[in-house]
Amino acid sequence: MMKAETDQIPEDALGFYEAGQGAALATVVETWGSAPRPVGSQLAISGDGVMTGSVSGGCVEGAVILEAQEAIEDGKHRVLIFGVSDENAFEVGLACGGQIRVLVEPVLASGDGLTIAKLRDLARARATRQMVGSEVNLTTGQHLVTTAAPVMTAPCWQDGQSTTRGDHFLALHKPPLRLIVTGAVHIAQHLLPMARATGFDVTLIDPRPVFGSEARFPGEDIIEDWPDEALAALKPDARTALVTLTHDAKLDDPAIIAALQTDVFYIGCLGSTRTHAKRVARLQEQGFSEGNINRIHGPVGLNIGAKSPAEIAVSVMAELVQVLRRG
């Protein structure tokens, strides 16, 4: 599967370390005012100064990289504060007027901090789409990683967000966002790279080899099974979206029916209003309730007057992100 570049920061840090370069993870642990990146945003830094991710959108990354390289050298974590009130504000301050607090952790061979073993556990859990929790003592640097249900359902985790409580930072590592697309059509050729740029892992399903060919979708993760069989293997979850693009009920309906029996956060189906009405009627005959059928966005996408396949792809991603962020 081609990974979304914006959602593999821990894996990048792991790669830096295992390549012998040394590595550090920088994490936004607290914000004030108009901070450009939310709590939990991360930056992976190698000992050579290579970075992936972002903690400020470019305002303070240079200073964080220098601190990270020093952390890799001395093996000690540090907590940094950047903002317009800093004496170096003109150099590294946040032009938008906010402040951020950034935790920098070197990846260690052993100890109580962020060890290579803990980072591997985190990457392994993310690869199997498990929710992972990290608790970091900002004073001592002690770092705990857990997938244990009692910890993950404790009151401090219930809002589903990373947060700082007193001297402890509680990081919630959610499974990567995922988009499953049924139909290797022209719109999909634009939608897949857009989704990946937005932070989604992408899987394309089409049992027709002539449509889902490597030539038309170079490097993409393509499954040539029937959609219901493919979704059964993929196990969609609450961090998954489904978009159907074939116009063919024989292909789209099995995917929709399979998705409606899961807690995917978005289902979008291409087709006119008339096509969608027929789709609704078929689902009603299958016994689906009105409430369940209303989870479907059809016709798919925001109504922006899109005409070309690329414009339709833009409208689909816009609606998908709107549902993700606003419900």
Q: 117-162: per-residue pLDDT in tens?
A: 999 999 998 888 888 888 999 999 999 988 765 454 454 444 457 8
Give tens-digit pLDDT for 153-199: 454 444 457 888 889 998 888 888 999 999 999 999 999 999 999 98
Angle (CA) 134-138-144 rounded to 5° is 25
Find the range with the poorest average confidence among 3-17, 64-78, 256-270.
Answer: 3-17
Residue 247 near residue 270, CB atoms below 8 Å: yes
pLDDT level of residue 207 (50, 70, 90 thresholds): very high
The residues near 131 (Cβ < 8 Å, ≥ 6 apart) are 125, 147, 152, 172, 173, 174, 175
Q: What is the pTM of this model?
A: 0.78
The arrangement of strands across the sheet holding 163-165 comes to: 143-146, 132-137, 168-173, 163-165
pLDDT at 108 exceeding the cut of 60:
yes
Average pLDDT of the chain, as a whole number: 88
Question: Alpha-carbon distance 183 to 186, whole Å?
Answer: 9
Residue closest to 28 by CA, chosen among 102, 78, 93:
102
CATH number of the structural domain 178-326: 3.40.50.720
Q: Which three-class secondary structure string do you get for the chain?
A: CCCCHHHCHHHHHHHHHHCCCCEEEEEEEEEECCCCCCCCCEEEEECCCCEEECCCCCCCHHHHHHHHHHHHHHCCCEEEEEECCCCCHHHHCCCCCCEEEEEEEECECCCCCCEHHHHHHHHHHHHCCCCEEEEEECCCCCEEEECCHHHHCCHHHCCCCCEEECCEEEEEECCCCEEEEECCCHHHHHHHHHHHHCCCEEEEECCCCCCCCCCCCCCCCEECCCHHHHHHHHCCCCCEEEEECCCCHHHHHHHHHHHHCCCCCEEEECCCHHHHHHHHHHHHHCCCCHHHHCCEECCCCCCCCCCCHHHHHHHHHHHHHHHHHHC
CA within 13 Å, CB half, 235: 4
Q: Exposed, middle or buried by CB within 10 Å (0-12, 13-18, 19+), for 305?
A: exposed
Distance CA 288, CA 58 (A): 48
* pLDDT tens-digit readout, 272-317: 999 999 999 999 999 999 999 999 999 999 999 999 999 999 999 9
Domain ranges, ordered by start, for the chain: 5-173, 178-326
